[in-house]
Chains A and B, each alone.
Chain A
Amino acid sequence: MNCEGRKGFLTLADCENPGVTACANCARMMCPAHLSAQTGFTTCLDCAAASPQARQQQQEEGEYDDTWAAGYRNSYYSDTGYTPVSGFSRHDRHGFTSRTRNESEDETERGGFDAS
C-alpha cells in the first residue's frame, strides 16, 4: 500500500512511496518522509502539526521543518480557502519527472525576468 500522505503546497499530489507505518493518530499508512520526527515518527506530519505542543515549540524555536510546513499548509488552506491544483494524475507526474533531457524543454531558459 502506498503512503497516504500528500506532497506540495501550490499543487498537491499523492506520495508515491510505499507506506511503512500507520499514523498513531489517524491510522493512515505513511512513508518515513511523511512521519514527524517531533513525535518520534509515530504520527503523520498533519497530525503532529495539529498538536498544540508542536505549534508552541515551533513558535518558540522558529524552526522550519516538514512538520511546520504541513501545519502552515493546512492553516493557509483554511484561512484563505485556497484549493491546491491537484488535477494531475500520478501518470502525469511520472510524465513530468521521468522525461529525458532532450524532451525537457527550455531547461536553461530563465523565468519571466531578464537573465541579468
Chain B
Amino acid sequence: MKGWKAYRSLNAEQKRALRAKRIEMNRPAGALLEFLKPLAACDAMSDKFRTTLGCTFAFTLAATIVLALIYATNGWPEGWWTIVVPPALFAIFAGWGWSWTRSVDISNNFRKFALPVLTVLREDFDPARPVHVRLDLAAPTAPSKKRGKDEAVKKGGRKVVNSRYVDAWMSVEGVLVDGTKLAWRVTDAIRESKRTKRNARGKIKTKTKYKKKSTIEVSMGLKKKSYELRKALGEVAEDERRNTVSLSRRVVTASLDPIDPRVLLDLVASIFRNTRPAKEAGA
C-alpha cells in the first residue's frame, strides 16, 4: 500500500506532526519545505486510496454477512470457511486501512494552499533566518473548532440547524532576502447548515451546506532605506526603520475547498507594487 509506504518513510517528528495535525516550527524556508513535502506526499497517497478502501470494506463486509446468513439458514456445507473467510479477511484489512487513512488525514488547506505558497516564496525568504510557521491541519469542521450551534429553525418545511466554526489555521512570519519582514495569517469562519426534510415517500433526507469566509491578513515591514511607499495602501505604521503595511482580504466561498494561493500572493505583490526603491525616490 503506497500510503502506508509513504507514512513509513516519514521520520519520527513528521509522524508526530501528522498524528497531532499541528505544526509549529522555526526553520529556514528550505528546511521547512524539506519537512513539509513528505507530509503532503503521504496525505496525497492516503487521500487517493481512502475511497477505494472504504468501498472495499463496505462491499466485503456486506458479502461476508450475506454469505453467513445464507449458510446459517440452509446449513453450513463442508469447506464453508474457504468461501466465508476470504471476504471476512478482506473486510478486516480494508477496514483497518480505511480507518488508518482517516486517522492520518489532514486538511486540504495544507496541500492546496500552504505548500504551494511556501514553495513559491521559498527563495524570497532569507536563507540564513528561520521562518516561523504555525499550521493547524485538523479538518476545518473538527469539534475543537466549533464555536457554537444555533437552535433548530423551521424554514419552508425543512429543519435547519446552523453551526459555526472558526479555523485560524495558518500563520507565517519571516524575513525576506531584502530585509523586509513578512507575516500573514489565514482564518476561516465557517457556517455549516444542516437541512433536514421528509420527502414525498416519507424518507428523511439531510443535506449539509457550507459557507466559508476566509480572511487573509498580510503585514509587511519595509525598510525605509530600501523602499519608499508610493501612496497610502491599507494601514501603515511607521517607526524610524520601517514602514509596516497591513492589508487584509476576505474571500467568501460556498464550500470547504481551499482558497486559491494567488489571493495571498496578490496581496503581498500589491504591497510591493506600491513601493519604489528608496534610492530612486531620493534622487
Asked whether A97 and B181 contact (CB < 8 A) given A64-B115, A105-B241, the answer is no
Given A64-B115, A80-B266, check contact A93 B177 (CB 8 Å).
Answer: yes
Within 8 A of B (CB), among A1-48: 7-11, 13
Is A111 in contact with B177, judged by CB distance below 8 angstroms?
Answer: no
B121 touches A112 (CB 8 A): no
Binary interface profile of B, 207-223, with partner A (CB < 8 Å = 1, else 0)? 00000000001011100
Report yes or no: B220 in contact with A87, Cβ–Cβ below 8 A.
Answer: no
For the complex, what is the distance from the CA of A82 to the CA of B270, rounded to whole Å?
9
* B275 within 8 A of partner (CB): yes
Q: How far is the CB of A84 from chain B (nearest CB, A)?
A: 8
B residues near A (Cβ < 8 Å) are: 37, 40, 44, 111, 115-116, 119-124, 126-129, 171, 173, 175-179, 181-183, 185, 217, 219-221, 226, 237, 241, 244, 246, 262, 265-266, 268-269, 272-273, 275, 277, 279-280
Known: A10-B176, A13-B177, A105-B241. A68 touches B119 (CB 8 A): yes
Q: Could you jot down 30 A-B contacts, CB within 8 Å?
A: A7-B123, A8-B123, A9-B123, A10-B268, A10-B269, A10-B272, A11-B176, A11-B178, A11-B272, A64-B119, A69-B123, A72-B116, A80-B269, A82-B269, A84-B272, A85-B277, A87-B277, A88-B178, A93-B177, A96-B179, A97-B177, A106-B241, A107-B129, A107-B175, A109-B181, A111-B173, A111-B219, A111-B220, A111-B244, A112-B244
B272 and A62 within 8 A (CB): no
A61 to B171, CA, bound (A): 26
Give min CB distance, B145 to chain A, whole Å. Answer: 17
A-B residue pair count with CB separations less than 8 angstroms: 97
A34→B279 CA distance, assembly (Å): 31
Indicate which residue in A97, A111, A112 contacts B127 across the interface (CB closer than 8 Å). A97
State the Cβ distance, B65 to closest chain A Cβ, in Å.
38
Contact with B along A94-116 (1 / 0, CB 8 A): 00110000001111011111000
Measured in the bound complex, the distance between the Cα atoms of B266 and A112 in whole Å is 18
| B277: chain A residues within 8 A (beta carbon) | 85, 87
A88 proximity list for chain B (CB < 8 A): 178, 226
CA distance A65 to B116 in the complex (A): 9
Beta-carbon contact of A72 and B120 below 8 Å = yes
Q: With A9-B124, A10-B272, A112-B244 as given contacts, are A87 and B279 in contact (CB-CB < 8 Å)?
A: yes
B177 CB contacts on chain A under 8 angstroms: 8, 11, 13, 93, 96-97
The reply to whether A62 and B185 contact each other, CB–CB distance below 8 Å, is no
Chain A residues, Cβ within 8 Å of B241: 105-106
Which residues of A are found within 8 Å of B175, using beta-carbon distances?
A: 107
A69 and B120 contacting across the interface, CB-CB below 8 Å: yes
- Say whether A113 contacts B217, CB under 8 Å: yes
Chain B nearest CB from A34 CB (Å) reads 11
By a CB distance below 8 angstroms, the chain B residues around A69 are: 119-120, 122-123
